[in-house]
Amino acid sequence: MARPNTKPVTLALLVLALLLAGVGYFGVGAGRQFAADRSFRPVRVPSPTAAPPGVAALLSAASAPPTQSRPAANPPVPTAAGVAAALAGPLGDPELGSSVAGQVFDARTGALLFDRRSQDSVAPASTAKLLTAAAVLSVYAPTDRFSTRVVAGAEPGTVVLVGGGDPTLSAAPAGQAPRYAGAARITDLASRVRTALHGVEVQQVVVDGSAFTGPGAAPGWDPVDTPSAYASLITAAMVDAGRDRADDEIRSAEPDLAAGNALADALGGASVSLGSAPPDGAVLGQVHSAPVDVLVEQMMRSSDNVIAEVLARQVAIATHRPASFAGAAEAVRAVLADAGIDIGTGMVDGSGLSVQDRIPAAALAGTLLASLGAEHSRLRPLLSGLSIAGWDGTLLDEDRFSGPAAIAAGMVRAKTGTLTGVSGMAGLLTDADGRLLVFSFVADQAPSEGPSRIAVDNLVAALVRCGCR
């Protein structure tokens, strides 16, 4: 079963990416993804208070190609008839299959320019991460961080690692950069514990993951998903987004114990088990995650399923719901409903990895439109986390925006979604007249992965090529 791909995030890695493509797992090499994660730098575009920025402004903030053209000051408005005419040919591509849903909006006015089955529930694949990103940014400030604590255990020589839902806590050894930029480090946590213990030897590390509840895998996840290169079981304590070691390709079969083992190693060796922290255990050390806006960008840029699921649970915690798959889905649904975005009742996870996920296609474009407005400006990291066509993230690949669709390179910023039978994309683009458009397309009965992704690229490229008047 095909699963969402992850790609590098800077042009400097392009040559490395091409060299590693042949050793990929679902098309992506371990070294390639590790280098992508290590090289990530957040964009952190400021929130606007007036008109939304054009794609070019966002690209500029991301150190985009210098040839990127800027939108005109007052470009003409496309017409619905013009957009429909531009999309008619690409929509007829048999590689899209029999079920295509989508919308196109003018970003400046919010005018609907195209609608096809937008109220129908479709399988979103990884475009669902737009919804998780919007929800977590709605309930946390961009600068908020998640903490991981170590407290004294009930017995002498025992310490308890209390997972707080930090997905990128790093097990990288001292002197080695963490896999994820800005990540808290187990080595720092261990140093603080040693200082607090005044030389007392740690013989036992207990891992308390009670911040999260329910099963570690969602309904609709395939057994091969956990562990894999793109997913692990979801636990409150983990290191390096569910890996045993920072440079591993395949994620851990027991991410909570992997976190405990990393702490035990940093403390000089101790046995590790699962358990609970005593209610009155003294705090021996604490570290804090990267800020929420950075975690969102990391999740979006490489389409990281594990980070997405942990962030969805953080939405559940913030809204006083069980931090489980079901609780997280309900929390995301409720938070977005407060923002006027209806995602229906068909979401079962926060990443889009489940084949059971269903949402109205309108929720995707609606989320992007909300993030452009001043009323929901706190959602802005969602936009700066979108990949740039032909430049970074999941839109940098050998078959993306190539051939006739190459005209869209640098003109599109979007989130992709790919599962077996599903190809989708939602984002922003600048048309031939310099008008900023918001779009979403999902083909959830696509006959094949590669050709259907190209067909979706062609839909988007048709809008870039068109003045659509």
- In this structure, is residue 404 part of a structural domain? yes
Q: Are residues 32 and 94 in the same domain?
A: yes
Are 218 and 322 contained in the same domain?
A: no
Within 10 Å of residue 74's Cβ, how many Cβ atoms? Answer: 9
**Integer-rounded Cα radius of gyration of the chain:** 22
pLDDT at position 44 over 70? no
Peptide bond into 227 cis (omega under 30): yes
* Beta bridge mates, 247: none
Q: For residue 7, indicate whether it is catalytic.
A: no
Q: Which tokens belong to 46? A: 């400021």
Same domain? For 211 and 302 the reply is no
For residue 118, being part of any structural domain is answered with: yes
What's the confidence (pLDDT) of residue 38? 64
80 and 130 inside one domain: yes
Q: Which one of 290, 317, 338 terminates a domain?
A: 290
Answer yes or no: is 418 within a domain: yes
Q: How many Cβ atoms from other residues are within 10 Å of residue 44's Cβ?
A: 14
Residue where a domain terminates, one of 251, 270, 290 = 290
Q: Are residues 107 and 252 in the same domain?
A: no
369 in any annotated domain: yes
Answer whether residue 3 is part of any domain. no
279 lies in a domain?
Answer: yes
Q: Which two tokens stand for residue 189?
A: 């946590």
β-pairing, 28-29 vs 24-25, is antiparallel
- 237 and 336 share one domain: no
Under DSSP, is residue 207 helix (H, G, I), strand (E, B) or coil?
strand
pLDDT at 400: 87
Rounded to the nearest integer, the mean pLDDT of the chain is 87
Judge residue 461's burial from the number of C-beta atoms within 10 Å of its C-beta, 0-12 exposed, 13-18 middle, 19 or more buried. buried
- Sorting pLDDT into bands at 50, 70 and 90, what band is 393? confident
Catalytic residue, candidates 7, 129, 232, 440: 129
Residues 350, 422, single domain; the answer is: yes
Same structural domain for residues 132 and 161?
Answer: no
Number of separate domains in the chain: 2
- Of 296, 334, 246, 27, nearest to 144 by C-alpha is 296
- Token pair of 408 as six digits: 């869209």
Which of 303, 354, 384, 423 is labelled catalytic? 303
Residue 252 identity (one-letter amino acid): S
> Looking at the domain assignment, is residue 123 inside a domain?
yes
Q: Are residues 215 and 263 in the same domain?
A: yes
Same domain, 120 and 209: no
Q: Say if residue 309 is in the same domain as residue 364.
A: yes
Q: Which of 290, 320, 335 corresponds to the end of one domain? A: 290
Query: Is 126 a known active-site residue?
Result: yes
Looking at the fold, whether 127 and 21 belong to one and the same domain comes out as: yes
pLDDT digits (tens, 9 = 90+) for 207-233: 999 999 999 999 999 999 999 999 999
Q: How far apart are CA 91 and CA 114, in angstroms?
A: 12
pTM attached to this predicted model: 0.88
pLDDT tens per residue, range 230-259: 999 999 999 999 999 999 999 999 999 999
- Identify the domain containing residue 198 by its residue range: 147-290
Q: Say which range, 179-193, 378-392, 410-424, has the weakest mean pLDDT.
A: 378-392
In this prediction, residue 3 has a pLDDT band, given cuts at 50, 70 and 90, of: low
CATH number at residue 308: 3.40.710.10
Which has the minimum average pLDDT: 56-65, 249-258, 414-423? 56-65
Give the CB-side neighbour count of residue 188, counting CA atoms within 13 A: 16
The pair phi, psi for residue 262, each rounded to 5°, is -65, -40
Task: Name the catalytic one among 121, 126, 170, 423.
Answer: 126
**Does the residue 455 lie in any domain?**
yes
* Residue of 209, 213, 195, 233 whose CA lies nearest to 160: 209
The neighbouring-strand residues paired with 428 are 413, 438
